[in-house]
Amino acid sequence: MTPTVRTLLVTPLLGVFVLFVLVFGGSPALAHNVVENYTPEPGSTVTESPVDISLTSNDLYLDLAGDGQGFGIVVRDSQGLYYGDGCHLVEERTLSASVELGEAGTYEIVYQFVSADGHSLSESYTFEFAPAASHSPAVGYETPAECGVVRELASEETTPETVVTASSSEGVAVEQEPRDPILIVGFLSIVSIAVVVWVVWRVRQKRNGN
């Protein structure tokens, strides 16, 4: 094998190795996002409705499409009834929503987000609702709402994609189906480089009469 051919083969292969180390060796170092600021705070007492909910993490949320897909906030009371319109907003490190509450009592906030490392996580916590006597309770439903869908027209068997089963333990993240775009892009890059190396090798083989 001539020096030129050897150089053409070794250089791309070295690039593949470096790319492999950067992608597969570096990915485990990426940690899941951790929610640092809660509104309302876990275990706190809320007196106003609607309640403004915000969950701010230590890193940017991964919202590649910019439409909040894979994110969600649902609120339910101690009877298992759901409140809110199913809509939420994702802004950099904050996931938020506004929800009308029903009767006084204990409520659970269940939320899902896509971490900066590409993993979908779900957590939950509770708070107390103690409204004034003038409070008009909102209607609770047996199934969560879906943003943009009129409640009366929604099927009772249909649940929004953002609804997840969360850990009842406060602050404990439950990893859902892994979706790591970094690994996917890295794998496709490695395959592409390997194809280029093979094509160059075949061309050189034919020119050398092999």
The answer, yes or no, to whether residue 94 has pLDDT greater than 50, is: yes
**Which one has a higher pLDDT value, 56 or 28?**
56
Q: Is the CATH code 2.60.120.10 the one for domain 33-172?
A: no
141-155 pLDDT, tens digit per residue, is: 999 999 999 876 434
Instruction: Specify the higher pLDDT residue, 82 or 67.
Output: 82
Mean pLDDT, rounded, of the chain: 75
User: pLDDT by residue (tens digit) across 7-16?
Assistant: 444 455 445 4
Please compute Rg for the chain using Cα positions: 25
Residue percentage of the chain with pLDDT more than 70: 58
Q: Are 114 and 32 in contact (CB under 8 A)?
A: no
User: How is residue 72 written in tokens?
Assistant: 């969600």
Burial 55-83 (b: 16+ CB within 10 A, else e): bbbebebbbeeeebebbbbbbbbeeebbb
Q: How far apart are CA 155 and CA 145, in angstroms?
A: 10
pLDDT of residue 30: 60
Note the pLDDT tens digit of each residue in 110-123.
999 999 888 899 99
Token reading at 81: 């009834």
Q: What are the domain boundaries of the chain?
A: 3-28+183-207, 33-172
How does DSSP assign the chain, residue by residue?
--HHHHHHHHHHHHHHHHHHIIIIIHGGGPPPP-EEEEESPTT-EE-SSSEEEEEEESS----TTSS-TT-EEEEEETTS-EES-S--EEETTEEEEEE---SSEEEEEEEEEE-TTSEEEEEEEEEEE---TT--PPPPBSS---TTS-GGGS-TT---TT-----SSTT--EEEEE--HHHHHHHHHHHHHHHHHHHHHHHHHHHTT-
Q: For the ranges 2-16, 87-101, 148-162, which has the lowest average pLDDT?
A: 2-16
Q: What count of residues does the chain have?
A: 210
CA distance 73 to 122: 10
Q: What is the mean pLDDT of residues 43-47?
A: 97
What pLDDT was estimated at residue 157? 43
- Residue 65, CA atoms < 13 Å, CB-side half-sphere: 6
